[in-house]
């Protein structure tokens, strides 16, 4: 979980230049990856861009400038803005940096909201009429079954579970093969709900999940009642069947607890042969 990951946005801001054209901005920040990283220890970079130079060349040069200032270069870059896909992918491909569309940009979302309220209003040419939320909502795709190689119908079982938020302070010390976390800005005594999957193929399942940009688990309480896993920007997977009354009741409790924990929850993958280790463990939010 120690690989450096960046979150990136390249888009217009509520600022206009002398010619009345919108000013754009490259905003980059580091994903914390650990529950023990605080916002002030992360890397941040921002650079305004005139409307007439909005292209992949400017973005590539801005990323290089950020790399020159950063403690470590990124091994991967995430971005949430689908309409900028081609330009962002082109710039990152030119630099040989893997890039992934993802809603797992929690730090960037919070930073952009801060800039909307505290930074842009101080800039010449600020336009209050152009202010919008930093986050972007896209329609979710149809839920798909998990691939045959990792589907939970060959000896897998799963259960809802919960942990106190304070317990995640020690997550860096847990035996985890694949996973990711982030700092919890909730009361340490808050109960964080989650799902644990016990699988004889725990490591392959966790390895496959690690390449998906995991975002959130949602309990769908309408027919068919299912536990859905959201990944990337708009992908959904059928993670489990909630057809039994007991599962549906537990799913409603899971949803209630998730709301009380400000959307924070977790997904864990374990082999029953290794109860003290996790093949995968992800903190999620949404």
Count Cβ atoms within 10 A of the Cβ of residue 117 and give its class: 0-12 exposed, 13-18 middle, 19 or more buried.
Answer: exposed
Domain membership of residue 138 (yes or no) is no
Domain membership of residue 267 (yes or no) is yes
pLDDT computed for residue 2 by the predictor: 53
Domain membership of residue 136 (yes or no) is no
End of a domain among 100, 130, 160? 130
Q: Are residues 119 and 164 in the same domain?
A: no
Tell me the β-bridge partners of 214: 231
End of a domain among 78, 108, 130? 130
Domain membership of residue 137 (yes or no) is no
Tens-digit pLDDT string for the chain (286 aa): 458 999 999 999 999 999 999 999 999 999 999 988 888 999 999 999 999 999 999 999 999 999 999 999 999 999 999 999 999 999 999 999 999 999 999 999 999 999 999 999 999 999 887 766 555 666 777 888 887 766 655 567 889 999 999 999 999 899 999 999 999 989 999 999 999 999 888 999 999 999 999 999 998 877 788 899 999 998 999 888 887 777 888 888 999 999 999 999 999 999 977 778 999 999 999 8
Let me know: does 26 contact 49? Beta carbons within 8 Å: yes
Q: Are residues 39 and 160 in the same domain?
A: no
Task: Write out the two tokens for 204.
Answer: 């392959």
pLDDT computed for residue 241 by the predictor: 83
Domain membership of residue 165 (yes or no) is yes
CA distance readout (Å), 152 to 36, 103, 134, 210: 32, 25, 37, 17
Let me know: does 216 contact 254? Beta carbons within 8 Å: no
The domain in which residue 155 lies consists of 143-285
Q: Are residues 123 and 159 in the same domain?
A: no
Q: Are residues 147 and 274 in the same domain?
A: yes
Query: How far is it, in rounded angstroms, from Cα 33 to Cα 72?
Result: 14
Left (φ > 0), alpha (ψ -120 to 50) or beta: where does 125 sit?
A: left
User: Tokens 């899971």 appear where?
Assistant: 254
Question: What total number of domains does the chain contain?
Answer: 2
Q: Are residues 64 and 156 in the same domain?
A: no
0.85 cut: is pTM over it?
Answer: yes
Q: Are residues 180 and 72 in the same domain?
A: no
Reported as type and span, the H/E element at residue 85 is: helix 85-95
């Amino acid at each position: 979980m120690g690989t450096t990951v960046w979150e990136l946005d390249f888009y217009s801001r509520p600022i206009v230049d002398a010619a009345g054209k919108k000013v754009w901005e490259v905003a980059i920040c580091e994903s914390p990856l650990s529950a023990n990283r605080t916002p002030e220890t992360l890397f941040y970079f921002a650079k305004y861009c005139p409307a007439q130079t909005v292209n992949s060349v400017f973005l590539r040069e801005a990323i290089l400038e950020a790399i020159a200032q950063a403690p470590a270069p990124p091994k991967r870059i995430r971005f949430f803005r689908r309409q900028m896909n081609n330009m962002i992918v082109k710039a990152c491909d030119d630099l040989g940096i893997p890039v992934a569309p993802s809603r797992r940009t929690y730090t960037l979302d919070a930073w952009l909201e801060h800039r909307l309220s505290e930074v842009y209003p101080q800039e010449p040419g600020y336009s209050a009429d152009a202010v919008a939320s930093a986050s972007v909502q896209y329609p979710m795709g149809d839920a798909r079954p998990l691939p045959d190689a990792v589907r939970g119908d060959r000896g897998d079982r799963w259960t809802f579970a919960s942990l106190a938020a304070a317990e995640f302070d020690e997550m860096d010390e847990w035996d985890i093969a694949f996973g990711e976390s982030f700092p919890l800005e909730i009361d340490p005594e808050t109960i964080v709900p989650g799902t644990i999957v016990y699988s004889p193929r725990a490591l392959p399942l966790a390895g496959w999940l690690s390449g998906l940009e995991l975002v959130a688990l949602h309990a769908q309480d309408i027919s068919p009642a299912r536990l859905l896993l959201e990944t990337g920007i708009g992908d959904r997977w059928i993670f489990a069947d909630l057809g039994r009354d007991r599962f549906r009741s537990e799913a409603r409790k899971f949803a209630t607890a998730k709301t009380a924990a400000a959307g924070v929850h977790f997904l864990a993958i374990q082999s029953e042969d290794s109860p003290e280790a996790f093949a995968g463990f992800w903190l999620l939010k949404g």
